[in-house]
Amino acid sequence: MDDPKRMLSVDAAREQILSRISTLGEERVPLRNALDSVLAEDIVATEDNPPFANSAMDGFALRSEDVSGASPERPVRLNIVETIPAGYVPTRPLTPGTAARIMTGAMIPEGADAVVMVERTRVEGDVVLIAEPARRNQHVRPAGESVQAGEKVLRRGQRVRPAEMAMLAALNVAEPLVFRRPRVALISTGDELTDLGEPLAKGKIRDSNRYGLYGQILEAGGEPLDWGIARDNPDAMESLLRKGLADADALVTSGGVSVGGYDVVKDVLLKLGELHFWRVSMKPGKPLAFGEALGKPVFALPGNPVSSLVVFELFVRPALRKMAGHTDLFRPMRRATLAEAVEPDLSGRTTYARVVVTEQDGRLTAHLAGPQGSGVLRSLVLANGLAIIEPAGVPAGSEVDVILTDLR
Ligand code: AMP
Ligand code: MG
């Protein structure tokens, strides 16, 4: 059994990884491709938004002083001088006693200082009847109501969500400067692995890790480069890396990092760079190798189906986010009541238990999502969180920290 004192804690391993990872360079991307990227420039508005005072309603633009005495008994009659659709410039400044029919988004004509919505008016030929006073600036959206020219609207380091995409468009930024997203090469290792669609021969299994990890790379904001399955053959693996790594910003492998006789990944990586092999004090997923090959960071994950995805979640996801310029690297963590007991771990490791988290009246409850073996993918599918259980175990009803891996 491993001596727990010789194992690294999750936090320590994560710190070591993050201290060696740097943010990638900057590039301009078409706005459509900027979702979930991190801005590498401050955005200063060069124009007001909206660019001119416009109507918030379909109705009539008028001079508020003209209708200050209006009432249902004594409506004010104003002459309609023109109709202003959105996108057109008014041609007639309003003089006392006149109004312009105006559409939502159309320019407020000179002289007008209020809009009365059409539902509150009656039209008789060329005359509109107004039966109530209008506040100054009523239903008028002033120029620069949202953003004024010269204002710093978005900042370097800010994540681009759909709202930021709309704002960048409003400010005419067609190609924002963002931090580059990592291109992440992905390999499964193992002679037992069979890709989808091929018949499953005796003794072989499906390669599930590569698909789960592919999704995780995408979800973390990276661009996966699927390099398929590498057999347990050091020479083939080495030539694969020599051929491809120049195009990638990082490499993720799964399998082949334990202490078995066929664990080629460690040896190949040692040959091509520097490798830190750790037994991290966690369950699932003890073996984790991190290092550099041909100058690129390498994450060599364990092979067990649950371990590989959980180790990615804890170590690789924050690293990829850092590469992409994010400053909030980690998932939200909350306290929750664990419904079931968890036995002590005799090897002294911290358990990251797959749990189903539910919320009621602001309090979270976590149920174990099923058997916790490192090959039981089913319980990872059911789970939406990872409960952190100290090696001593906990009785049912304990408060524990839960990483919320899926907020849906
Ligand atoms: P290893 O670390 O290579 O000894 O693998 C540990 C366990 O994970 C073994 O049972 C492997 O068959 C399994 N395994 C390794 N890679 C994959 C994969 N890509 N998909 C599913 N299971 C895997
Ligand atoms: Mg293997």
> Mind spelling out the 3-state secondary structure of the chain?
CCCHHHCECHHHHHHHHHHHCCCCCEEECCHHHCCCCEECCCEECCCCECCCCEECCCEEEECHHHHCCCCCCCCEEEEEEEEECCCCCCCCCCCCCEEEEECCCCECCCCCCEEEEHHHEEEECCEEEECCCCCCCCCEECCCCCECCCCEEECCCCECCHHHHHHHHHCCCCCCEEECCCEEEEEEECCCEECCCCCCCCCCEECCHHHHHHHHHHHCCCEEEEEEEECCCHHHHHHHHHHHHHHCCEEEEECCCCCCCCCHHHHHHHHHEEEEEEEECEECCCEEEEEEECCEEEEEECCCHHHHHHHHHHHHHHHHHHHCCCCCCCCCEEEEEECCCECCCCCCCEEEEEEEEEEECCEEEEEECCCCCCCCHHHHHHCCEEEEECCCCECCCCEEEEEECCCC
Please answer whether residues 17 and 312 qualify as being in contact, where contact means their C-beta atoms are separated by less than 8 angstroms: no
Whole-prediction pTM: 0.91
pLDDT tens across 241-256, in order?
999 999 999 999 999 8
| Ligand 1 nearest atom to the CA of residue 287, by list position | 2
Ligand nearest to the Cα of 262, by number: 2
Interval 16-25: pLDDT, tens: 999 999 999 9
Query: What's phi and psi for 314, nearest 5 deg?
Result: -80, -35
- Nearest Cα to Cα of residue 340 among 400, 265, 395, 383: 395
pLDDT score of 6: 73
- And the tokens for 40? 């590498």
CB 124 within 8 A of CB 137: no
Ligand 1 shell residues, CB under 6 Å: 188, 190, 192-193, 205, 207-210, 254-258, 260, 302-305
Q: How confident is the model at residue 304, as a pLDDT? A: 96
Residue whose token pair is 């407020």: 108
Q: Ligand 2 being an ion, which residues bring their Cβ within 5 A of it?
A: 190, 255-256
- Ligand 1 atom, smallest distance to 257 CA: 2
261: CA distance to ligand 2 center in Å? 9
Q: For position 246, what pLDDT does the model report?
A: 94
Cα(254) to centroid(ligand 2), Å: 8
- At 263 the pLDDT is 74
Q: How far is the CA of 263 from the centre of ligand 2 (A)?
A: 6
Q: Which residues, including other chains, have CB under 8 Å from residue 283's CB and lie 6 or more apart?
A: 345, 347, 349, 350, 351, 352, 374
Q: How many CB atoms lie within 10 A of CB 236?
A: 12
Considering every ligand atom shown, identify the ligand nearest to the alpha carbon of residue 233 and give its number. Answer: 2
Ligand 1 centroid, distance to 369 Cα (angstroms):
22
**d(CA 246, ligand 2 centre) in Å:** 25
pLDDT, tens digit only, all 408 positions of the chain = 456 567 889 999 999 999 999 999 999 999 999 999 999 999 999 999 999 999 999 999 999 999 999 999 999 999 999 999 999 999 999 999 999 999 999 999 999 999 999 999 999 999 999 999 999 999 999 999 999 999 999 999 999 999 999 999 999 999 999 999 999 999 999 999 999 999 999 999 999 999 999 999 999 999 999 999 999 888 989 999 999 999 999 999 999 887 666 678 888 888 999 888 788 999 998 888 899 999 999 999 999 999 999 999 999 999 999 999 999 999 999 999 999 999 999 999 999 999 999 999 999 999 999 999 999 999 999 999 999 999 999 999 999 999 999 854
